[in-house]
Amino acid sequence: MKRFEFKLQALLNFRKHLERVAQQDMAKTVMAVSDCENQIDSLQTTHGQSTKKLEAIVEKGVAAQEFKHHHAYIGAVTQMIVEEKRRKVQLGIILKKKRLVLKKRSIDKKAIERLREKQAKEYNQELLTAEQKELDEISSLKKAREISNDTEQ
């Protein structure tokens, strides 16, 4: 008998490809979220350091113009933190959508894999049945020869 051939192998390969693409998309989004979190942490550190520096300068005495520059810088850093947090929320929404797409792709691929496994199991069972039938026939012929040889003697 010929070996097992899955008629939907091309579809299975395509679905595996789609799953890999979805995994890569999700990984890129996870990296973007991670980068965004790192950026927020960095900006918060900068904000804290700038605030401490401004407090130290104010204690020593500072000109109004220099105070405005420091205060404007701290305001800009605060605004950047707010923008990065918004961006993180948007990336979280995108990540959620990509996670759902990946889940769907995995389910689609798994369904075809299960069908393939089921058909392979059925094929192997048919093969075993055919082999057993053939062995039974060989055994029957051998027994028949033995009986005919015994009766002739």
Is 59 inside a domain boundary? yes
pLDDT value of residue 145: 82
Domain count, the chain: 1
CB 43 within 8 A of CB 144: no
pLDDT value of residue 111: 96
DSSP class of residue 1? -
pLDDT value of residue 85: 96
CB 34 within 8 A of CB 87: no
pTM of the model: 0.73
- Return d(Cα 146, Cα 130) in angstroms, integer: 24
pLDDT value of residue 45: 96
Is 70 inside a domain boundary? yes
Q: If you search the block for the tokens 């929404």, which residue do you land on?
A: 93
Predicted confidence (pLDDT) per residue in 37-46, tens digit: 999 999 999 9
Predicted confidence (pLDDT) per residue in 83-106, tens digit: 999 999 999 999 999 999 999 999
Residue range of the domain that includes 86: 9-110
Is 46 inside a domain boundary? yes
